[in-house]
Each structure stands twice: as C-alpha cells, then as structure tokens.
C-alpha cells in the first residue's frame, strides 16, 4: 500500500506525488502532440479538422468526468481515515457506473456527431474529416473512461507509479502506430486524419484491459468486488453525485466555452484556426506541471482532511500555489525564447497558409506565456477546493474565468473591435488576471477546509 501522506514533510510528499503525476500528464498530452504532428504533415486543412474535434469531444464526455473527480476525492479522504473497506466499496461502485455510462454516451455521441459538426461554419472538406474523426473517437469512449477512472482511484490512495507505467506503454504504442495508420504501410491503408483516432482507440483499449485486470486482482491497493453490485448503496450514490455534479458542470461549461471559442475562431481564416489549435495544444502540454501539482494537492488535501488535519491541508495548498507560480515563470521564459521552433514542429511552412499559421502561432504563444503564469495559481486553488470536497467553489471560479471574462473579452476584442486573431489571443491573459484576484479572495476569506464531507 502507498505510504501515509498525512504525516512527515509536506514538501517531500508533494514532490514524490507530483513528479509521477506530472510525467503522467505529459505522457497523456503526448497523445495529442503525436497526433498533431503527424496530422500536420497532411496540411493546414487536416490540422484545422482535428482542431475542431477536441472541444466537441471534451464537451460530450464532460458529463462523466465529474465521477472521476468524485472517485479521487472520496478515495483520498477514506485513505486519510485508514478505511480500506470503504476504499474498495467506493471504487467498485464508481468503476462500473462509469463503464455502463460510457457505453451509452459512446452510442449517443456517434449518432449526433454529424449534427454538431454541421453547425460549424467552415469548409466542406474540414467538416467531413472532423465528422469522421469524431465518430471514431466516440466509439473509443468505452475504453477511455475505464482507463481514466483507474488513474483517478489510484491517485486517491497515492499510488501514481503504476498508472504512469500503463500510460507510458499506451503512448509508445500510439507513437509507433500513428504514422502507419495515418499514412499507410504494407497491408494497412492510409486512413488520413481518421487514422490517429483509430490508433488512440487501440492504445487506450489495451491500457483499459490491463487496468481492469489489475483492479479485479487487487494488486496495488484497490480491489474491485463484483458481488457488491448486487445491492445499490444509495447513501454512497448521494455522496458521489454531491461531488460529481458540480465537477461535471465545471467540465461541461469549460468544454462548452472551448466550443464557443472555436465558433469565434472559425469566423476568421483557416490559418487562424490552425494557429489556435497548435497554441492550445502547446498550452495543454505546458500546463502539465500545474496539473500534476494540482492533482497532488487535491490528494494531499483530501487525505489530510480525512485525517482531520485542517492546518496541514491549508499549508499544503499554500506551498503548492507558490511552487506552481515559480515553476511556470521559468517555463514561460523558455517557451517565449524558443516559440518559433516549437510552433514550427507542427507545420511544414511550404506555402503561404502555413507561413501565416506559423506567424500567428508564434504571436499566440507570447500571450499564452503570460496566461499560464496567472492561471497556474488559479488551478491549484481549485484543486485544493476539490480535494476538500468543495467542488461547487471550484465550479464557480472556473465559470468566472471562461464565462464572465474570457468569452466576452474574446468576442468584444476579436469581433466587435475587429482585432480578429489578436483579440482572441489577448482575451486569455486578461481573463486569467481578473479571475486570479477573485480566486485568491475566496481562498483566504472562505473556510473551505473546515470539515470532512
């Protein structure tokens, strides 16, 4: 079993938990980076098609993402209570709930894809490729969610190395198969854009099977017991939904904001769409350290609140905020210096459209560098609230970031004031700045760590 995170050095616990989580998130992002690289070799239109699909896919699956959060929160707090029976019971209930729900969502998503993509005003070729890619991706949801809930449950008990190894295997498989299925090789035809989605399903499917076997055997601290499914635990379900619903709303509204931003971006050139897609992929990759520290913060806060150690939970959150801010400043400086090289990895720069994409992408990176220095502390604050079971607070702050500031600013600057791409770029750091002020006020004024849920 993982060591007790409610005692000893906070710094050592934070580092030992954060590093594997950071590596895990980097590996997960390499899925998108690898796909973006090989799809980028097909041209700007192909990049634009895939860029349109990610916010749509994330929006549809967000309804279930809250349950993975609920799993981590409950498991971490029961771990703090040193209650292995509850850990296994909660894990079993949530895992099979997610498995059944993802199957239903997979079917729904497949059939509604043409209608969703059809609302986006862009070229027919881009719409066709986006539709085909998204439908294949939806078929893989039945593998994606077991794969993610495995990570969430083990993260709650502080076991982060085994999920990291499984993800490493999946990413390596994705890395080697992507060019084969996208460009074709031997008996395997060139699937183009759709090939990257097929490979992701194969990689995540194998990972999901491995993860399920591990939990059924109870090899690393969590054991699924199918017999427990005979009786519905209504009390537990209420706890799960109390935590999950605000988190699902948070994920859904965030992903909806991404869809709205895509609508705004699609009003402009294909190069703007491609630059936005490249920039957000890079942002997701650079934010991996913050996400890793955020996950670690959530687990440490949850376990310490479960052990009724409020002051230690508060100290964990404050140390995490400071560490994240300092790390992101260094990363921002490095990214700006090498922005032309980083953006250039995703495009060939052999025609005028690609050259314009390169120019816009470099410009976007400059504004994103400021953004994640400001948004990093916001993310840690929301992670601390989540670990304490205060998912409503996290939801509210998240909605303020995107709906009170980012979306209105993007539309005002890009469309009404006709700043186009520049207006969208500027909306990112401005919205993060105003939101950080609000998040800090709530963090210091509200007694969010006062009791166990």
pLDDT tens string 85-131 = 899 999 998 998 888 888 998 898 889 888 888 776 566 667 788 88
Higher pLDDT, 59 or 217: 217
Residue 51 has pLDDT above 80, yes or no: no
Band of pLDDT at residue 35, cut at 50, 70 and 90: confident
Mean pLDDT within 172-180: 89
pLDDT value, residue 2 = 62
pLDDT value, residue 175 = 87
pLDDT value, residue 452 = 64
Give the separation between CA 390 and CA 367, rounded to whole angstroms.
31
pLDDT value, residue 349 = 54
Higher pLDDT, 358 or 407: 407
Residue 382 has pLDDT above 90, yes or no: yes
Residue 258 has pLDDT above 80, yes or no: no
Q: Over the stretch 302-327, which tens digit does the pLDDT of each residue have? A: 999 998 899 999 999 999 999 999 98
Tell me the C-alpha to C-alpha distance, in Å, between residue 133 and each of 51, 401, 420: 11, 30, 28
Percent of the chain residues past pLDDT 70, beyond the cut: 96
Mean pLDDT within 260-289: 83
pLDDT value, residue 79 = 92
pLDDT value, residue 253 = 85
Structure tokens belonging to residue 447: 């007694």
Residue 73 has pLDDT above 80, yes or no: yes
Q: Over the stretch 2-16, which tens digit does the pLDDT of each residue have? A: 667 888 889 999 998
Structure tokens belonging to residue 312: 């230690």
* Phi, then psi, of 220 in degrees rounded to 5: -135, 45
Residue 352 has pLDDT above 60, yes or no: no
Average pLDDT, the chain: 86
pLDDT value, residue 427 = 93
Residue 397 has pLDDT above 90, yes or no: yes
Higher pLDDT, 47 or 342: 342
pLDDT value, residue 140 = 87
Mean pLDDT within 280-290: 81
pLDDT value, residue 353 = 59
**Of 47-51, 100-104, 191-195, which range is least confident?**
47-51
pLDDT value, residue 121 = 55
Name the residue with tokens 């605000």: 246
pLDDT value, residue 285 = 77
The CA-based dihedral angle spanning residues 132, 137, 139, 141, taken in that order and rounded to the nearest 10 degrees: -160
- Helices 44-80, 193-217: axis angle to 10 degrees equals 10
Among 373, 380, 386, 388, smallest CA distance to 428 is for 373
pLDDT value, residue 348 = 63
160 DSSP assignment:
-
Give the separation between CA 32 and CA 203, rounded to whole angstroms.
13
Answer whether 60's CB lies under 8 Å from 109's CB: yes
With H, G, I as helix, E, B as strand and everything else as coil, classify residue 54. helix
Give the separation between CA 63 and CA 226, rounded to whole angstroms.
24
Residue 1 has pLDDT above 60, yes or no: no
The CA-based dihedral angle spanning residues 23, 74, 60, 373, taken in that order and rounded to the nearest 10 degrees: -50
Residue 425 has pLDDT above 80, yes or no: yes
Answer whether 85's CB lies under 8 Å from 131's CB: no
Higher pLDDT, 121 or 368: 368
Residue 29 has pLDDT above 80, yes or no: no
pLDDT value, residue 154 = 92
Which residues neighbour 391 within 8 Å (Cβ) at sequence distance 6 or greater?
A: 66, 69, 73, 243, 244, 245, 246, 247, 250, 385
Structure tokens belonging to residue 275: 């630059």
Higher pLDDT, 121 or 420: 420
pLDDT value, residue 146 = 86
Residue 23 has pLDDT above 90, yes or no: no
């Amino acid at each position: 079993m993982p060591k007790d995170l409610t005692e000893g050095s906070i710094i050592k616990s934070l580092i030992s938990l954060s590093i594997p989580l950071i590596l895990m998130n980097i590996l997960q992002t390499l899925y998108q980076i690898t796909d973006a690289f090989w799809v980028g070799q097909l041209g700007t239109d192909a990049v634009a098609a895939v860029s349109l699909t990610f916010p749509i896919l994330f929006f549809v699956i967000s309804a279930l993402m809250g349950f993975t959060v609920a799993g981590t929160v409950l498991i971490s707090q029961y771990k703090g209570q040193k209650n292995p029976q509850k850990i296994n019971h909660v894990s079993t209930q949530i895992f099979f709930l997610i498995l059944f729900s993802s199957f239903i969502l997979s079917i729904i998503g497949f059939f509604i894809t043409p209608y969703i993509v059809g609302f986006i005003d862009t070229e027919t070729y881009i719409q066709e490729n986006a539709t085909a890619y998204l439908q294949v991706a939806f078929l893989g949801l039945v593998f994606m969610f077991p794969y993610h809930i495995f990570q969430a449950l083990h993260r709650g008990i502080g076991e982060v190395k085994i999920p990291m190894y499984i993800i490493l295997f999946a990413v390596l498989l994705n890395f080697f198969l992507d060019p084969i299925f996208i460009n074709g090789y031997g008996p395997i035809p060139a699937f183009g854009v759709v090939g990257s989605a097929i490979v992701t399903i194969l990689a995540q499917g194998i990972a999901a099977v491995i993860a399920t076997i591990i939990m059924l055997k109870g090899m690393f601290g969590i054991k699924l017991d199918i017999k427990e499914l005979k009786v519905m635990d209504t009390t537990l379900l209420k706890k799960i939904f109390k935590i999950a619903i605000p988190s699902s709303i948070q994920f859904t509204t965030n992903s909806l904001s991404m869809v709205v931003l895509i609508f705004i971006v699609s009003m402009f050139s294909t190069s703007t769409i491609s630059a936005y897609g490249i920039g957000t992929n890079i942002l997701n990759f650079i934010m991996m350290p913050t996400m890793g520290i955020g996950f670690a913060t959530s687990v440490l806060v949850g376990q310490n609140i479960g052990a009724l150690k409020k002051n230690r939970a508060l100290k964990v959150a404050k140390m995490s905020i400071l560490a994240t801010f300092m790390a992101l400043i260094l990363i921002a400086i490095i990214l700006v210096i090498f922005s032309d090289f980083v953006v250039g990895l995703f495009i060939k720069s052999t025609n005028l459209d690609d050259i314009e994409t390169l120019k816009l992408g470099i410009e976007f990176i400059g504004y994103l560098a400021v953004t994640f220095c400001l948004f990093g502390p916001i993310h840690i604050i929301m992670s601390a609230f989540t670990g304490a079971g205060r998912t409503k607070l996290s939801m509210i702050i998240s909605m303020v970031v995107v709906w009170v500031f980012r979306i209105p600013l993007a539309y005002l600057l890009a469309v009404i004031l006709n700043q186009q791409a520049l207006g969208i770029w500027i909306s990112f750091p401005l919205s993060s700045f105003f939101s950080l002020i609000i998040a800090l006020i709530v963090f210091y004024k509200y007694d969010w760590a006062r009791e166990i849920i």
